[in-house]
Amino acid sequence: MQQSPEPAIRVIGLGKTYRIGLSGDRPTTAVEAALRKMRNPVRKGSHTLFDALDDLTFDVPWGEAMGIIGRNGAGKSTLLKVLTRITAPSRGRIELNGRIGSLLEVGTGFHPELTGRENIYLNGSLLGMTRKEIQRRFDEIVDFAGVATFLDTPVKRYSSGMYVRLAFSVAAHLETEILAIDEVLAVGDAEFQAKSLAKMRDVAKDGRTVLFVSHQAQTVAALCTSAVFLDRGHLAYHGPVAGAFDLYRDSFEKFSLEQKDSSTRPGTGELRARSVEMGADHFEPAGEKTIHISLDANPEMVGKYFVSCHINDLNGSVLIQCDSRVVGGWYDPTRTQEVTLTVRTPWLKPGRYTVDLYVCKNGILDSWEGAVGFEVLPHNPYPELAGDEALTRGLVLGDFHYKNG
């Protein structure tokens, strides 16, 4: 592929501001809008401004696969939408030195009544391919998706796996110089995910440029050569992937401090957790982990509630979900409760973990992300020692043994 000396993408002072209505929503009917104007002819409508993106400046060189990471609401998806021209920026300038293809959702424009073949053409053209390009790559697309026998069946009769594979396959065969992807790899079975990842890596090797938004550290680490970290619309970091994830982890800790104040937490607030404490500061990998939860009372609440603890690793992946319902844990809201959760398996790898606590009845009463953190000591729980590579692959450690014969 011919390469120009210019970077693939140049972003200068980019900003995107949304107007958020203060008094309820913005008018959705003309009459409502007119009425508001009549009541307040002078005031220019009551709204606040929200900067989803503010003053972003960066270049993306050719052949780079750049990850975009950040907490929820940091502006990752907005950035991708602005770059792919779905929505217009409010300030600044973007230069794209090539066609940009976007994959923000699998199967955009797929119509259930159309056959696989028809959808390939419809979706392909929507993503910016010409008919010739689609024809040339048609067999590859079908092969990759593995739906050859169902080409003339309406996609509404496809299994969800087939549907997703076909949709991804069309997008993966885009020949645009720049490709923007939003977490769509998290679809399909493991085998297809691996295939998709490999495909994406090939794209970057071709000298094309890939932008990739994801929460999953492993995917970003596997796919990307650099990363940006967005913090509330600001560019907090642009550089190697590892550095971006250090910041990502720090931001979790900052966030958990803010969550200590129960009034700022999401949830209906009918009943809140008072405190969440670990039984100890640190644990052995194979040891029991205990979590003490104190819950407030609400005498006016009717019916019992339950709690659910999520144990997350530092990259935000939920490792264990401990829902009290599955072990018969229902609690009476009329008096305060002291609950102790004990987790015996799986063994946890050495490192830091965070615990999210959810108090629920019909909806979520209290959502306390990052309620508490704990450390697992760097000890080997297994009887024998081996190199690091013997332990690094899994997310958790298992209690297993091998037997001869």
Binding residues (CB under 8 A) for another protein: these are 2, 4, 6, 18, 27-31, 33, 81-100, 102, 104-105, 108-109, 111, 113-114, 118, 121-122, 125-131, 177
Q: Closer to another protein by CB, 5 or 363: give it.
A: 5
CB 159, min distance to another protein, A: 21
Nearest-CA neighbor of 177 among 278, 281, 63, 295?
63
DSSP string, 40-70: -SSS---EEEEEEEEEEEEEE-TT-EEEEEE
CB 15, min distance to another protein, A: 9
Q: Give the CA dihedral 242, 244, 249, 251, nearest 10 degrees.
A: 170
State the Cα–Cα distance between residues 265 and 357, nearest whole angstrom.
Answer: 11
Q: Are 319 and 355 in contact (CB under 8 A)?
A: no
Q: Closer to another protein by CB, 26 or 201: give it.
A: 26
> Please, which residues have CB within 8 angstroms of residue 71's CB and are 6 or more apart in sequence?
231, 248, 251, 252, 255
| CB-neighbour burial class of residue 259 (10 A; exposed 0-12, middle 13-18, buried 19+) | middle
Q: Closer to another protein by CB, 105 or 253: give it.
A: 105
CB 356, min distance to another protein, A: 29
CB 195, min distance to another protein, A: 23
Q: Closer to another protein by CB, 28 or 392: give it.
A: 28
Q: Closer to another protein by CB, 100 or 293: give it.
A: 100
State the Cα–Cα distance between residues 309 and 321, nearest whole angstrom.
Answer: 6
Q: Closer to another protein by CB, 86 or 148: give it.
A: 86
CB 109, min distance to another protein, A: 5
Classify residue 190 by its DSSP letter. Answer: H
**Main-chain dihedrals φ then ψ at residue 43, nearest 5 degrees:** -65, 140
CB 164, min distance to another protein, A: 15
For every residue of 222-248, which 3-state class applies, written as one string? HHCCEEEEEECCEEEEEECHHHHHHHH
